[in-house]
Structure 1
Amino acid sequence: MEHLNVGRAKLTWLRGGVTFLDGGAMFGVVPKVLWEKKYPVNEKNQIELRTDPILMQLDGKNYLIDSGIGKGKLTQKQLRNFGVLEETQIEESLALLGLSTNDIDIILMTHLHFDHACGLTKQVGNNFEPVFERAIIYTSSIEWYEMRNPNIRSVNTYWHNNWKPIVDRVKTFTDKIEITKGLKMIHTGGHSDGHSLILFEDGDDHFIHMADIMPTHAHQNKLWVLAYDDYPVTSVHQKEKWMQYGFKKQAWYTFYHDAYYRAIKWNRHGEVMNTVKREH
C-alpha cells in the first residue's frame, strides 16, 4: 500500500477494486489519438481504472474518501460490462494496518455513483447492512437527494441497496463544510449535480482530491472531461478553478481511479514536481 504525508494528515490507498471502462467514454470528445499517448488502452479500447478509497489518518481519527466498488454486489453481467477484475478488499487492507471497518470514524463521499458507493454496504442473508459499523457519512445535499430520487439516466448508478442501509448515518451540506480543522468538502457539480471535492490545508501543505472531475493524471487538461459527466461545462470550469488554486499552492492532487499514480504535485506552470506511483 502506498502512503503520503501531507501536513498533519497521513494518506494510505486501500484496495477497493479495479475496472476496465471504455476509454472514449472516459475522455469524452477528446480524440483517441491524443489521449492514448497519456493513458494506456487495451485492444478493446478499455482503460484500467482503480476504485481505491483513501484512508486518511488525521488528529487521532480515521477518515475514508469514498468506499470502493464493493464485494458481491455486482451481477455477472455487470462484472463483465464494467470489466471488473478485482472487487473490494477493504477489510484485508485495513487488517494489514492493524485496523478494522469498526475503526473508521468518518467517510467522505465525493458522490454516490455505484463505483464509489457500493463499498458502503454488504449483503447479509436477504438484507443489506453498513460495512462500516459506526462511521458517519458526509455527502452534499444535492447528491443525497439525487441518490434517493434518480432520474431516467442516473437510475443506473444510484442503487437502493447502497443508500437504504445507511440512511441514518448520513450528514449533508449545501455549498461547503469544514469537517475538522483544515479539512473541507466543497460542492462542485459537474460529474454529477451533487459532486464534491475534498480540500485539506495545513500551513503550506495542501492536497486536493478532485474525484471524478479529474479522475486520472491524464485528465490534467482542463478541457478533458468525461462523457459520463452530467454537466461537462461545469466540470471544465471547476477543474480550471481548482487547478489554478492548487498549482499556485503547489498542492498534491490525489486520485481514486488512476491505475498508475496515487498523487501528483504540479508547479504553477503545470509541470510535474513530485509523484506517488502505484505499486504494481
Structure 2
Amino acid sequence: MEQMKVGRATLTWLDGGVTHMDGGAMFGVVPKPLWSKKYPVNDRNQIELRTDPILVEVDGKRMLIDSGIGNDKLSDKQKRNFGVLEESSITRCLRDLNLTAEDIDALLMTHLHFDHASGLTRWEDDELVPSFPNAVIYTSEKEWSEMRHPNIRSKNTYWESNWKAVEGLVHTYEESLEIVPGLKMIHTSGHSDGHSIIVFEDGEADCFIHMADLMPTHAHQNVLWALAYDDYPVTSVHEKQNWMDYGYFRKAWYVFYHDAIFRALRFDENGEVIGQLKQKKHSYT
C-alpha cells in the first residue's frame, strides 16, 4: 500500500478493485491518437481504472474517500462489461494496518456511482448490511437525492443495493462541509449533478485536492478533456479550470482514486510536475 503525508494528514491507498472502461468514453471528444499517448489502452479500447479508496487519517479521525466496488455486488455480465478483474480487498488492507472496518469514522463520498459506492454495503448471509457500521457517510444533498430517485439514464449507475442498507448513516450538505479543520467537501456538479471534490489545507505549505471524476486520471489534466459520462460537461470544464488554477497556485498535491499509474502528483504554478507518488502495481490488460 502506498502512503504519503501532507501536513498533519496521512493518506494510504487501499485496494478497492479494478475496472476497465472504454477509452473513448473516458476521454469524450478527444481523439484517440491524443489521449492514447498519455494513458495505456488495451486491444479492446479499454483503459485500466483503479477503484481504490484513500484512507485519510487526521486529528485522530480515520476517513475513507469513496468505497471501492465491493464484493459480489456485480453480475457476471456487469463484470465483463466493466472489465472487473479484481474486487475489493479493503478488509485485508485495513488488517495490514492493524485496523478493522469498525475503526472507520467517516466515508467521504465524492459521488455515488456504482464504481465509487458499491463498497458501502456488503453481504452478510443473504442480507446487505453497512460495510463500515460506525462511519458517517457524507455526500451532497443533490447526489443523495439522485441516488434514491435516479432518472432513466442514471438508474444504470445508482443502485438501491448501495444505499438502502446505509440510509440511516448518511449526512448531507448543500454547497460545502468542513469535516475536520482544513478538510472540506465542496459541491461542484459536472460529472454528476451532486458531484463533489475534497480539499485539504494545512497552513500555507501543505494542500491536497481530490478532484474525483472531474480529473479521474493524470491524463485528464487538460481542463478541456471531459468525460462522455459527464452529465454536465461544460460545468466540469469550468470547475476543473477553477480548481486546477487554485491547486497550481498552492502547489497542491492532486490525489487519485482511479489512476492506474500515479497515486498523487504535485504541480507548480505552470502545471508542471514537481512531485509524484507512483502506484507499485498495475496490470494494463
Under TM normalisation by the shorter chain, which class is it? over 0.9
Q: Return the alpha-carbon distance in structure 1 between the equivalents of residues 14 and 110 of structure 2.
A: 17
Q: Return the alpha-carbon distance in structure 2 between the equivalents of residues 177 and 131 of structure 1.
A: 23
> Which residue of structure 1 lines up, in the alignment, with residue 234 of structure 2?
233
What residue identity is the alignment partner of 2:192?
S
TM-score (norm 2): 0.98
What residue identity is the alignment partner of 2:218?
H
Aligned residues: 280
> Which residue of structure 2 lines up, in the alignment, with residue 135 of structure 1?
135
Residue 103 in 1 paired to residue 103 in 2? yes
> Percent of aligned pairs with the same residue?
65
Q: Pairwise mapping of residues 230-269 of structure 1 onto structure 2 (< 5 A)?
A: 230-269=231-270
Report how far residue 65 of structure 1 moved: 0.2
> Which residue of structure 1 lines up, in the alignment, with residue 272 of structure 2?
271
Q: Deviations over 1:10-46 (max 9, x none)?
A: 0000000001110000000000000000000011100
**Structure 2 unaligned regions, length at least 5:** none
> Which residue of structure 2 lines up, in the alignment, with residue 160 of structure 1?
160
Report how far residue 4 of structure 1 moved: 1.0
Q: Deviations over 1:184-227 (max 9, x none)?
A: 00000000000000000001200000000000000000000100
What residue identity is the alignment partner of 2:113?
H
What residue identity is the alignment partner of 1:180?
V
Report how far residue 87 of structure 1 moved: 0.2
What residue identity is the alignment partner of 2:213?
D
Report how far residue 127 of structure 1 moved: 1.7
Residue 58 in 1 paired to residue 58 in 2? yes
> Which residue of structure 2 lines up, in the alignment, with residue 224 of structure 1?
225
Residue 49 in 1 paired to residue 63 in 2? no
What residue identity is the alignment partner of 2:246?
Y
Q: Return the alpha-carbon distance in structure 1 between the equivalents of residues 96 and 180 of structure 2.
A: 26
> Which residue of structure 2 lines up, in the alignment, with residue 126 of structure 1?
126
Q: Return the alpha-carbon distance in structure 2 between the equivalents of residues 275 and 157 of structure 1.
A: 32
> Which residue of structure 2 lines up, in the alignment, with residue 195 of structure 1?
195
CA-atom RMSD, angstroms? 0.5
Which runs of 4 or more aligned residues in structure 1 lie more than 3 Å from their structure 2 counterparts after TM superposition? none
Report how far residue 129 of structure 1 moved: 0.4
Report how far residue 61 of structure 1 moved: 1.1
**Structure 1 unaligned regions, length at least 5:** none
Q: Deviations over 1:206-257 (max 9, x none)?
A: 0000000000000000000100000000000000000000000000000000
Report how far residue 125 of structure 1 moved: 2.5
Q: Return the alpha-carbon distance in structure 1 between the equivalents of residues 166 and 181 of structure 2.
A: 26
Q: Return the alpha-carbon distance in structure 2 between the equivalents of residues 126 and 254 of structure 1.
A: 36
User: Tell me, what secondary structure is at the counterpart of 1:235?
Assistant: helix
Report how far residue 126 of structure 1 moved: 2.5
Q: Deviations over 1:144-173 (max 9, x none)?
A: 000000000000000001001000000000
> Which residue of structure 2 lines up, in the alignment, with residue 210 of structure 1?
211
> Which residue of structure 1 lines up, in the alignment, with residue 183 of structure 2?
183
User: Tell me, what secondary structure is at the counterpart of 1:34?
Assistant: helix
> Which residue of structure 1 lines up, in the alignment, with residue 70 of structure 2?
70
Q: Return the alpha-carbon distance in structure 2 between the equivalents of residues 159 and 44 of structure 1.
A: 27
Report how far residue 120 of structure 1 moved: 0.3
Report how far residue 124 of structure 1 moved: 1.9
> Which residue of structure 2 lines up, in the alignment, with residue 39 of structure 1?
39
Q: Return the alpha-carbon distance in structure 2 between the equivalents of residues 135 and 150 of structure 1.
A: 25
Q: Return the alpha-carbon distance in structure 1 between the equivalents of residues 111 and 133 of structure 2.
A: 20
User: Tell me, what secondary structure is at the counterpart of 2:168?
Assistant: coil
